[in-house]
A and B are shown apart, each in its own frame.
Chain A
Amino acid sequence: MLIKLTGGTVYDPASGIDGQVQTLYVQDGRFVKQPAADVKIDKEYDLKGKVVMSGAIDMHTHIGGGKGNIARMLIPEDHRKDPVHRSDITRSGCGHAMPSSFTTGYRYAEMGYTAGFEPAVLPINARQAHMEMGDIPILDKGGYVMLGSDDYLLRMLTAKKDQKAINDYVAWTMNAAKAIGVKVVNPGGINAFKFNQRKLELDEQNAHYGVSPREILQVLATAVKELGVKHPLHVHGCNLGVPGNVETTLDTIQGIGGLPMHLTHIQFHSYGTEGDFKFSSGGAAIAEAINKNKNITADVGQILFGQTITASGDNMRQHANHGFASPNKWVCMDIECDAGCGVVPFKYRDQNFVNALQWAIGLEIFLLVDDPWRVFLTTDHPNGAPFTTYPHLIRLLMDKSFRNDMLATIHPEAQKMTTLASIDREYSLQEIAILTRAGAAKLIGLDDRGSLGEGAWADITVYTDNTDREKMFEKPDYVFKDGELVVVDGKVVHTTWGTTHIVRPEWDISVEQDLQKYFDRFMTMKVGNFKISDDEITEDGRGRLTTHTLNSIS
């Protein structure tokens, strides 16, 4: 099948194309060069005047894994407000804060997204993450495996195992859990909570292991780099949500010593303690640090007002914040000497000073980070807001007058505490394409995705240009996944099954001997039963695996 996409205005930062009129050709799911004149075109789409980008990639969204399902179980009243009917081609479900798996796939696709990455895959819960994501249609998916509060790693650090041994363990875990990246959540803090520590500063020691978050970050960031994994260590830092945590975050950036590091939902880690309410914006300081330190990338974790539910591996901080639960119900779990989770419903209110300032801080960071290749568009779905708010968020970034209109409606004291009104920047379409496509694909290390160039997989979104960017981005004219038309006029017309993106870094076989002993002594399953085999992803006939290249290791 040869498809011709004629005359669209193309924004493809990966190929350096910025708003040029081009015709694209797709054959067997990938972009190909213009065929000879006598080759038959099977289907042509006239895209004159339309905006063409590659399919969007959400590099941090909680779409698979146990805490998300706990979140679903916790709030039936939220689902009842957004029932999703089945159709001849789509399954029923529920939407809003924590949608069901099928609805997740449809609604992402209907916004022009073709991939989403679950950032908090507990090794012990990785099967569930993959099984849930296996029931998300259309999207490609993948996960970052969580380390840093697992007792095995902390025992290694206490025993002063060398970096090579840690690299082997990290690589082994990535393989066992079928991951494409490594995440650390409140480094060591989830573990410390099990020893009744209620906070953990960057240089504070775990009461049992005598290991600090800084050491954990150092060894894991080094492991990721030395293994050649392209996605830098994905860091949910210490002290999430704590006023004054901007200092912790700046210290984290400085302390990593130039190693590649991705700071996730950085908005939640950018708070000062100034002002009458002892809560202020650290947005400018954080943006400046990102601008200066080229090894640092960040996604924002923007909050938007309304009801949502927060689901995090950081049970230490979630427990500390349970008093804010709205409605007043919440779950915390300690999990398998591996990690934990905390699920707390939240209602962000524009007339609440803290929430209003959180909103402004996120936008400040977006607008003050100079390099669009190092900042990413997320709400930390569902924690800052459901992913369905992305078109609104894009409008806030692209439309200064709209942004200022919104700013004028929030808590008046918060308006005084933000510099937002003085920031003139408006994101361009090309910059949005970087944040949500080319940059995300590069950051995750996806080969042949996030680009409209020859050889890349044909994930394509076509929009009608509209000065109301929210309207434009919420309803694409067409979405193609691997060259197949899946969405027309913002509605799913056909469903497909995406791939699971992974990497397979190498490890020394001897690491498994120690792991086997550890599992037999302390864990509740055999190490052989812990590892996820390829066929677990593929045996249902829908799933498949795509293994990406690693950086060459010097």
Chain B
Amino acid sequence: MDIEKLRADRPALIAHLRRVTAELRVDILEMLCESKSGHPGASLSSIDLIAALFYAKMRFRPEQPEWPDRDRFVLSKGHGVPALYAVLAHFGVIGREELKTLRKHGSRLQGHPANRLCPGMEASTGSLGQGLSVAQGLALASRLDGDRFRVYCMIGDGESQVGQIWEAAMSAPKFALDHLCVLADYNQGQNDKLVREVMPTLEPAADKWRAFNWHVVEIDGHDIAHILGALDEAERTKGKPTLILARTIKGKGVSFMELNMKYHGVAPSPEETQRAIAEIRGRAS
């Protein structure tokens, strides 16, 4: 895989990502099945966004995860971390075999991101609402040092019920952090119920971010071409941070998990995993 070549050939990148995201979904399901715990819904809703970001934009060195000039990706919705582990293993930042240690005693792959333990984690997250502030701090540091790196941060829609998200939503445009891009994985579900049942007034979400002076791009978060276009637009946008409001489906790719809140925080059984993998591979072939 020559990533620079793919970055220069958009149709090839899109085709490649369509294949890769199917395999990453399989990795996520196998990982969760092995650990017998974890959050399939948010991992499956975010994997297209995370994979596209790493393939198309992130500047990083798999063999040197602490490279100071690397772009930063802060996964604020920490429960979706199996998706990030799958992508990091795909690029060799962590070992593929290590994926089987997810959530196990002694593993670097904690149930939620732990940056002191695992490469590729830029902050420890999992208490919702905290990562965007950290991303803002990283972006300010980058700015002080002459815009050395870009900062990406993924938040969720359930997570956007946390007040701290809106503190950072208010402040990042004040600092004109145009090298900060938020990927909002609006997957419509949260722990107990659908987001529209828990907090219908989260919408209209795009208007709220625009009102704080963010550049907002609203997309289908499972459409690879849309995602890449939005990431391009974020890079082009000057003077303000960008929020990619990605409309996604919790559990995307596995019919019996889609928008089924049972799979917010419950791992699939071996039988369910096999069924899910057959469905994903059947669709991809």
Co-complex (A, B): no
